[in-house]
């Protein structure tokens, strides 16, 4: 059996006396696409921040390609995993090319010059995300969807075997959301990058993932194939509310909707 790109064993994290993650264990194999779902406050973003050491102090064991995370320098960690945050309003006063080029720092020694290979990697990342024409634009002048493409381009330029996504399409309109999903799917398929994606979009998670993990109150309450997730009792136990099931009119894939129709009908009957 090959060594997973990420192996998490017994990860727990507290804020004061409040447990945020409780004994979380899972692994991500090379080339896997794993989605993490769950209600607000379940610990999904905290999980990612523990994995990339934005939040230190967690208990348990984390290994990247067999090496303990605690033994990795920051540059070594950046060679193992890349992180794409939520598409918020953050912006920087760098050109797009300069911003993506900074993702090559893990491969540069102190005071060393950028090599032609680094420049080629940056152009490839810009081409992959469709923003080559924006290379001289200032990051802060871009739209939210364009800025998110820049973050993804920087993650691609890191050339890490694992990509961490924290609700990468949140705050985006449907057009840019689909663009981002298409880019991520292409990177996963064509470059063999493993993906660990936190998302609130259950349907997208089922469509794109090899496996789905569900967190509730900091604990894993489901881990399995996407098809196993799409059961009424399973989703209700995760989110604490019922869902309506339907099928996509083109793909016939099973989909979920909030059970709003039943709730609305009940209200009308009580009026």
Same domain, residue pair 154 and 253: no
Q: Give the DSSP H/E element, type plus range, for residue 99.
A: helix 96-101
Domain annotation covers residue 168? yes
pLDDT of 103 above 90: yes
The predicted model gives 191-211 an average pLDDT of: 93
> In the prediction, which pLDDT does 113 show?
85
pLDDT greater at residue 103 or residue 172: 103
Domain total in the chain: 2
Lowest mean pLDDT among 2-16, 213-227, 234-248: 234-248
Residue 192 lies in a domain: yes
pLDDT at position 260 is 58
Q: Model confidence over 44-101: pLDDT tens digits? A: 999 999 999 999 889 999 999 999 999 999 999 999 999 998 866 667 789 999 999 9
Arithmetic mean of pLDDT, 1-21: 93
Taking residues 227-254, report their average pLDDT. 88
pTM: 0.90
Q: Per-residue pLDDT averaged across 211-217, rounded?
A: 97
Quick one: 124 and 249 in the same domain?
Answer: no
Q: Are residues 39 and 119 in the same domain?
A: yes
Same domain flag for 150 and 215: yes
| Pair 245, 210 in one domain | no
Residue 111, pLDDT > 80, answer: no
pLDDT at 2: 83
Residue 39 lies in a domain: yes
The token pair at 180 is: 């981002």
pLDDT for 175 beyond 60:
yes
Interval 253-271: pLDDT, tens: 888 987 655 555 444 434 4
Q: Are residues 168 and 211 in the same domain?
A: yes
Q: Are residues 257 and 234 in the same domain?
A: no
Residues 19 and 145 in one domain: yes
pLDDT above 90 covers a percentage of the chain that reads 69
14 and 146 assigned to the same domain: yes
User: What per-residue confidence (pLDDT) applies to 173?
Assistant: 86
Same structural domain for residues 185 and 247?
no
What pLDDT, on the 0 to 100 scale, is given for residue 176?
Answer: 87
Distances (CA, A) of 120 to 83, 116, 126, 199, 213: 21, 6, 10, 32, 36
Q: What is the pLDDT of residue 250?
A: 84
At residue 240, does pLDDT exceed 80?
Answer: yes
Residue 227 binned pLDDT confidence (cut-offs 50, 70, 90): confident
170 within a domain of the structure (yes/no): yes
Do 157 and 255 lie in one domain? The reply is no
How many beta carbons lie within 10 A of that of residue 191, not counting itself? Answer: 14
Q: What is the pLDDT of residue 99?
A: 94
Beta strand segments in the chain, E: 6-15, 18-28, 33-37, 59-64, 67-68, 81-84, 162-166, 194-198, 211-216, 219-224, 243-247, 254-258
CA proximity to 164, closest of 84, 77, 47, 68: 84
Mean pLDDT of 215-231: 94
259 and 234 in a common domain: no
In a domain, 183, yes or no: yes
Q: What is the CATH number of the domain that holds 86?
A: 3.40.50.300
Instruction: Print the domain residue range for 253.
Output: 241-271
Within-domain flag for 1:
no
């Amino acid at each position: 059996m090959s060594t997973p790109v990420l192996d998490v064993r017994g990860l727990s994290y507290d804020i004061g006396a409040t447990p945020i993650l409780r004994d979380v264990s899972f692994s991500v194999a090379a080339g896997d696409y794993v989605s993490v779902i769950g209600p607000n406050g379940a610990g999904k973003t905290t999980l990612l921040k523990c994995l990339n050491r934005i939040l230190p102090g967690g208990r348990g064991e984390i290994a990247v390609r067999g090496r303990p995370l605690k033994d990795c320098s920051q540059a070594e960690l950046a060679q193992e995993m890349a992180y794409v945050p939520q598409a918020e309003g953050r912006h920087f006063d760098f050109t797009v090319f300069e911003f993506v080029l900074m993702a090559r720092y893990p491969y540069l020694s102190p005071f060393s010059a950028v090599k032609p290979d680094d420049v080629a990697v940056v152009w490839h990342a810009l081409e992959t995300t469709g923003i080559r024409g924006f290379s001289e634009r200032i990051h802060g002048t871009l739209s939210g969807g364009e800025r998110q493409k820049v973050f993804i381009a920087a993650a691609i330029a890191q050339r890490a075997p694992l990509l961490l996504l924290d609700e990468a399409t949140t705050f985006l309109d449907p057009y840019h959301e689909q663009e981002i999903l298409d880019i991520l799917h292409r990177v996963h398929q064509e470059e063999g990058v493993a993906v660990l994606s936190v998302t609130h979009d259950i349907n997208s998670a089922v469509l794109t993932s090899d496996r789905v993990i569900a967190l509730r109150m900091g604990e894993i309450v489901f881990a399995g194939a996407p098809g196993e997730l799409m059961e009424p009792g399973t989703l209700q136990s995760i989110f604490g509310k019922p869902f309506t099931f339907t099928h996509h009119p083109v793909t016939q894939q099973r989909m979920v909707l909030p059970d709003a129709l039943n709730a609305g009908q009940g209200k009308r009957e009580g009026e």
